[in-house]
Amino acid sequence: MIAPTFRPATSSDVAALHRLIESAYRGDSAKAGWTHEADLLGGQRTDEAELLDILADAGRVILLAEVEGVLIGCVQVADQGEGLAYLGLLTVDPTRQAGGLGRLLIEAAEAEARNRFAATRMEMTVIRQRVELIAWYERRGYRLTGETRPFPLDDERFGLPQTRELEFVVMEKAL
């Protein structure tokens, strides 16, 4: 794999960013990769308005991974205050999964959290039913905190649940 370059997203990236995220999380295209939610959720993962809101917020950044100018992945980092940052929207083009890009995106997100927000800890939430993904994050040094958070079951902006049993587990790593 050619080494990707990383840069913060801008509003001009939103259309391509939205296509990438939807292709990796929802529908048949997502099933090309191993880490999708297509069997748990239908509908959308996000929308362009939400992505623009993220980019307009100085406390959040979306890092893009590109190879030769082609968008292949992204990750969001959000300042939670008191040394805590949040990792979200980790996305790898489904045709490029299992090639190490996810690990590189996490490393870039952790560095960004330390440098931009002076974070000493990173947390994330993962749908409890995604056990393979939780195990993958554990191999990257994240640990389950024992805390759970509700999934927004009735907010179509985050998808259409195939089960009402969805909830998030919270994972954390010291930076």
Q: What is the pLDDT of residue 2?
A: 81
Rounded Cα–Cα distance for residues 171 and 116 (Å): 21
Q: Is 36 a residue whose pLDDT tops 80?
A: no
Q: What is the pLDDT of residue 28?
A: 60
Per-residue pLDDT band at 111 (split at 50, 70, 90): very high
Q: What is the pLDDT of residue 164?
A: 79
Q: What is the pLDDT of residue 161?
A: 64
| Position 40, amino acid | L
> How is 6-49 classified by DSSP, letter by letter?
EEE--GGGHHHHHHHHHHHHSHHHHTTSSS--TTTEES-S--HH
3-state DSSP assignment of residue 157: helix
Rounded Cα–Cα distance for residues 119 and 86 (Å): 9
Q: Is 13 a residue whose pLDDT tops 90?
A: yes
Q: What is the pLDDT of residue 34?
A: 55
Q: Is 116 a residue whose pLDDT tops 90?
A: yes
What whole-number percentage of the chain has pLDDT above 70? 86
- Judging by DSSP bridges, how do beta strands 84-92 and 70-81 pair with one another? antiparallel
What whole-number percentage of the chain has pLDDT above 90? 69
Q: Which tokens go with 163?
A: 């089960």
3-state DSSP assignment of residue 62: strand
- What is this structure's pTM? 0.89
Which residue in 167, 169, 163 sits closest to 144, CA to CA?
Answer: 169
